[in-house]
Amino acid sequence: MIDVIIAGAGPTGVLLANELQLQGVRPVVLERDTEPTKVVRALGMHARSIEILDQRGALAPFLELGRKHPVGGFFAGIAKPSPELDTAHPYVLSIPQTTTERLLLERAGELGVEIRRGCAVVGLSQDEHGVAVELADGTQLRSRYLVACDGGRSTVRKLLGVGFPGEPTTVETLVGEVELTASPATINAANAEVRKTQLRFGAAPLGDGMYRVVAPADGVAEDRTVPPTLDELKRQLRATAGTDFGAHSPRWLSRLGNATRQAERYRVGRVLLAGDAAHVHPPMGGQGLNLGLQDAFNLGWKLAAEINGWAPTGLLDSYQTERHPVAADVLNNTRAQMELISLEPGPQAVRRLISELMDFDEVNRYLIEKIIAIAIRYDFGAGHALLGRRLRDMELRRGRLYEQMHRGRGLLLDQTGRLSVAGWADRVDHVVDVSAELDVPAVLLRPDGHVAWVGDDQQDLRNQLPVWFGAAVS
């Protein structure tokens, strides 16, 4: 039997598969499309996603192909300096989603993940032992678990009957990659002038005369699954900027909406939801792809622990407990940002006020940290300020902290040299080392890098290890 079927070979699904494979769990990824998409919906990665790749030793090719940009100005496009941030990666990595998917797929190939294309899920049923999945060609597969990473129109979510409450699209934006014949000076001048008020406009060079072009749509299409025509895009460019820049030869065209919805439940029995299948929201701040990757990183080790037989009671359910509030907060801040880019007088007045408040460093940092997801603190109960937070990468005497996390296991960073993980050594690495950047005696990290315990008392540590890593092995 397959351990986990993952519906969808986008970034969320492939990262989840990689995490499972790393733990000795066999995933099979089913993708409806026969070829990877050419549509570039996301353009970058934020700090927490970059940290995730770094924690697994997979970051280098992304840095090689991406470009680093300041994080200032990512909240509603309000131009402010980048604040000081508690991360070794205080930048946005500009990298097209197509490149991100390719690199994750290459990593999947190295790990031995099986990906089957041209496989559309059309039915499912489950019992206490597993899930039966029916494909469009009549094939049936059975697995111990199923994870839906099949996008905002998720077939799996609909088959489960999970509610997806929220608001439909009321504002639509056209986006595509096209060739422009206008001069760079003309395009730059239009960008500078139009974007003073209309942030849903832009033309960014991609090389060889090709540009990524964004323009407000004229209303909302009746069928939003149908891409816009080149004539429609040119008409909206003229309406917004007074010229269509000689747009021609589109590589692809698409529509972006501001629909904001969240699944009522992330788990139904042996079926779970992640990424856009669990939540959709406007693209403000570039958070969508990142939110999905972070879902997968949270879920992967927990699902593997369940399948490998050592998960403590409630561990798998903590996926929803932890990630549902995070997504709700992202939906909230994208709703707010959409209001702040409205051209109406009221929202513009609020935008001016928020801009003034962001001149305070604390406010600027608070809002940017929402976007880049490094301030998230899961509720592990009362305790040290680090408890529930992810720990940033830091220099040790012998290398870096994140270099110790490539295997995806728990980690005890012990600056005292007196502690032990005996009984859990098959799940938790014990690193005796010191860092000038860590002012506590020792920290216990979950496989996703969040702090599960802080202290120096061995009995206290032994009491906490089973909470996240199950029973000790004698």
Name the fold adopted by 395-469: Glutaredoxin (3.40.30)
Cα separation values, 313 from 149, 307, 401, 451, Å: 25, 13, 29, 19
Q: Closest Cα partner for 9 from 97, 101, 138? A: 101
- Gap between the Cα atoms of 298 and 147, Å rounded: 13
Burial class, 232, CB count within 10 angstroms (exposed 0-12 / middle 13-18 / buried 19+): middle
Which amino acid is located at 237 in the chain?
L
pLDDT of residue 378: 98
Round the average pLDDT of the chain to a whole number and report it: 96
Check if the beta carbon of residue 113 is closer than 8 Å to that of residue 17: yes
- Gap between the Cα atoms of 142 and 149, Å rounded: 17
Secondary structure (3-state) at 347: helix
- Gap between the Cα atoms of 361 and 72, Å rounded: 11
pLDDT of residue 209: 86
**With a threshold of 0.85, does the pTM exceed it?**
yes
Check if the beta carbon of residue 18 is closer than 8 Å to that of residue 108: yes
Rounded to 10 deg, the angle between the 230-241 and 184-194 helix axes is: 60
Burial class, 380, CB count within 10 angstroms (exposed 0-12 / middle 13-18 / buried 19+): buried
Check if the beta carbon of residue 193 is closer than 8 Å to that of residue 243: no
pLDDT of residue 91: 97
Architecture of domain 173-256: 2-Layer Sandwich (3.30)
Q: What is the mean pLDDT of each run of 10 residues along the chain (474 residues)?
A: 97 98 98 90 94 98 96 93 96 95 97 97 96 97 98 97 96 95 94 92 90 94 91 96 95 94 98 98 94 98 98 97 98 96 95 97 97 96 95 96 98 97 97 97 98 97 97 91
Cα separation values, 327 from 51, 218, 260, 296, 334, Å: 19, 29, 11, 13, 11
Rounded to 10 deg, the angle between the 318-340 and 345-357 helix axes is: 110
- Gap between the Cα atoms of 140 and 132, Å rounded: 7
DSSP string, 209-255: TEEEEEEE-SS--SSTTSPPPHHHHHHHHHHHHS--TT-EEEEEEEE
Domain edges within the chain: 2-166+261-372, 173-256, 395-469
CATH 3.50.50.60 is right for the domain spanning 2-166+261-372: yes
Q: Closest Cα partner for 124 from 26, 271, 14, 1? A: 271
- Gap between the Cα atoms of 455 and 465, Å rounded: 13
**Number of H helices and number of E strands within the chain?**
12, 24
- Gap between the Cα atoms of 341 and 336, Å rounded: 9
Question: E strands within 140-218?
Answer: 140-148, 166-167, 173-179, 202-207, 210-216
Burial class, 381, CB count within 10 angstroms (exposed 0-12 / middle 13-18 / buried 19+): exposed
| Burial 28-67, CB ≥16 within 10 A → b, else e | bbbbbeeeeeebbbbbbbbbbbbbbbbbbebbeebeeebe
